[in-house]
Amino acid sequence: MITKLSHATIYVLNYDQAIDFYVGTLGFTLTNDIQMDHGFRWVTVSAPNQPDVEIILYEPLLAGQMDQETVDHLRALLEKGVLGGGVLETDDCQRDYETLKAKGVEFIRGPQQTPYGLEAIMRDGCGNWYSLTQRPTK
C-alpha cells in the first residue's frame, strides 16, 4: 500500500543556481547533493517544517530516461520560464513577499486576495514560477 508522497521533481536549468535559490534564498535544507554517473547529480531540498518531503532539483540532461529531443524541449520550457513548480505555503504572504523581493526574487504579481487566500506569484530564477500562498483564516 502506498503511504505517502516522499519526493517530487522540479526541473531546473542549473543545479548550483537552484541550490543557491532554494537553500540560500528560501531557507530550504539541502538534503542531498550526490555526484552520480554521466554528469547526473542527485540534489534534493526540503522545506524547514516539512523534512519528510524532498524536492528533487533535476537538470535535464542525457541520462536515464531522457533523449536529446526531450532534454531540448524541457530546457526550452525552462528558459521560457513557463513551468509552474507548485504552491509554497506561508503563514504571512505580505511579509514573505517583502522579504523575498528585498533578496532579489522576481515576482510576476504581488500579493492579491483570491478565493483560496492571499497569493503572490514568483519565479525561482531556474525556469519555474510558484504561487506563494497564505490560506484564509477560518
pLDDT of residue 65: 75
Number of domains in the chain: 1
Residue ranges of the chain with per-residue pLDDT less than 70: 63-64
Q: What is the CATH number of the domain that holds 106?
A: 3.10.180.10
pLDDT of residue 64: 66
**Residue range(s) defining the domain that contains residue 81:** 7-134
Q: Does residue 97 belong to any structural domain of this protein?
A: yes
Listed residue (11, 54, 63) closest to 35, CA to CA: 63
Q: Does residue 44 belong to any structural domain of this protein?
A: yes
pLDDT of residue 9: 95
Strand order in the sheet with 83-89: 83-89, 128-134, 117-123, 107-114
Q: Does residue 32 belong to any structural domain of this protein?
A: yes
Q: Does residue 1 belong to any structural domain of this protein?
A: no
For residue 84, with 0-12 CB atoms within 10 Å meaning exposed, 13-18 middle and 19 or more buried, which class applies? exposed
pLDDT of residue 70: 92
pLDDT of residue 61: 81
